[in-house]
Amino acid sequence: TACSSKYVLSQMHPMWQGPLVVPGGDRQSPIDIAVRKTVFDSELKPLVATYDPQTCQQIWNNGYSFLVEYDDTTDKNTLKGGPLKDKFRLCQFHFHWGESNDWGSEHTVDRRLFPAELHLVHWNSDRYTLFEEAVMEENGLAVIGVFLKVGKRHEGLQKLVDALPAIRHKDSIVEFNRFDPGCLLPANIDDYWTYHGSLTTPPLTESVSWIVMKQHIEVSHDQLAVFRSLLFTSAEEVQKSMVNNFRVQQPLRGRTVRSSFT
Ligand code: SG5
Ligand code: ZN
C-alpha cells in the first residue's frame, strides 16, 4: 500500500522538528507541472464545489501557516465531479507563500514559481467518517490548489487579511464567521490539472487527489505583506517571520498529470 515503505526525511523546517520518518516515497507532492507532458483526459468532468459560508468557524496560526476551518460534521461544503468518484467535504483552507514575490508556491508550472498558493482541503465523506481516518487512506483527500499572483487587490480575501493581526503568533485562534471559500476560486474552475500525490506537510500521506487550477487569482502586494507579518513563533520565542512555508518539489516517479482542457 501507499504507506508501507518508510524513509527518513532530511528536510528541516519549523514544523519538521529534526529528521522525521515518513510514509511513502513514490507519489509525494508538490511537483512541477510540465505542461507539454500533461495528458488531456476527455473523461474529466467539470468540478462542482458547493460551499456554505455559515459553516466557517475559526482561523488559527498553527506555526506553519494559517488555517481557516469549517464545520465538517455534515455535508454542507462539498466537492464533486472533476477526477473524483466520491463526494468530498471541506475541512480547512490555508496558504503557502514566500518572503518575496519571486517564489512561494508549492506547485510550479513549467518551472514557473508563483508568490503564493491556496489549498482547499477536502476529505472523502462517502467512504470515511472523520478527516483523521481519510488522511491515512488512498483516495481519502482531495485538495484544490490555486496560484496567487500579485496584481490588483482581492476584495474577497481582504476580510481574511483583516483578521490576520489577531493571530500573529503561533497557536493563536480567533473566531471567524461567514466566509465563503468559493470567493477564492478563479472564475474558470473547469480548466485544471490533476494527479495522485501526498500532503505536503506531516503526515505526508499519499492520500491526495490534487486538483491544480490553471487560472490564478490576483491579490495585492499589500495583502501578501500581511501574510508575511505572521510569525512562526509564539509570544515567548525570538520572532521569526512566517515566510517560505512551502515544501521542496518532489520527483514525479512515472506519474501522469492529466489536464481537463486542451
Ligand atoms: C493535513 O495536511 C494536516 C494539516 C496540514 C495539511 O491536512 O492535518 C493534520 O495532519 C491533522 C491530522 O495540518 C493541520 O491541520 C494542523 C493540525 O495543514 C497545514 O499544516 C497548513 C499548511 C497540509 O495539507 S496540504 O498538503 O494541502 N499542504
Ligand atoms: Zn498546503
pLDDT score recorded for residue 7: 39
pLDDT score recorded for residue 145: 99
Task: Determine the angle formed by the axes of helices 155-163 and 221-228, rounding to 10 degrees.
Answer: 20
Determine the Cα–Cα distance for residues 120 and 52; give it in Å rounded to an integer.
14
Task: Report the b/e string of 95-122 with b at 16+ CB within 10 A.
Answer: bbbbeebeebbbbbbeeebbbbbbbbbb
Nearest atom (ligand 1) to Cα of 141: 7
pLDDT score recorded for residue 25: 85
Nearest atom (ligand 1) to Cα of 202: 10
Are the CB atoms for 115 and 104 separated by under 8 Å? yes
pLDDT score recorded for residue 10: 41
Contacts for 157 with CB less than 8 Å, ≥ 6 apart = 183, 184, 219, 223
Are the CB atoms for 209 and 142 separated by under 8 Å? yes
Please state the ipTM of this predicted complex. 0.94
Place of cell 501578501: 224
Q: Which residues line ligand 1 (CB under 6 A)?
A: 62, 64-65, 67, 94, 119, 121, 132, 135, 143, 199-201, 203
Mutation pick for ligand 1 pocket among 105, 199, 242 (CB with most ligand atoms within 8 Å)? 199
Nearest atom (ligand 1) to Cα of 247: 28
Beta bridge partners of 22: 7
| DSSP secondary structure of 94-122 | EEEE-SSTT---SSEETTB--SEEEEEEE
Mapped onto helix, strand or coil, the DSSP state of residue 190 is coil
pLDDT by residue, tens only, the chain of 262 residues:
232 333 344 444 556 655 555 555 899 999 999 999 999 999 999 999 999 999 999 999 999 999 999 999 999 999 999 999 999 999 999 999 999 999 999 999 999 999 999 999 999 999 999 999 999 999 999 999 999 999 999 999 999 999 999 999 999 999 999 999 999 999 999 999 999 999 999 999 999 999 999 999 999 999 999 999 999 999 999 999 999 999 999 999 999 999 999 9
pLDDT score recorded for residue 1: 28
Place of cell 471541506: 90
pTM of the model: 0.93
Q: Which amino acid makes up residue 200?
A: T
- Structure-block grid coordinates of residue 67: 488555517
Q: Whose CA is nearest to atom 13 of ligand 1?
A: 201
pLDDT tens, 35-78? 999 999 999 999 999 999 999 999 999 999 999 999 999 999 99
- Structure-block grid coordinates of residue 49: 464545489
Ligand nearest to the CA of 61: 1
pLDDT score recorded for residue 22: 57
Nearest atom (ligand 1) to Cα of 198: 26
The rounded Å distance from CA 145 to ligand 2 centre is 8
**Ligand 2 ion local residues (Cβ < 5 A):** 119
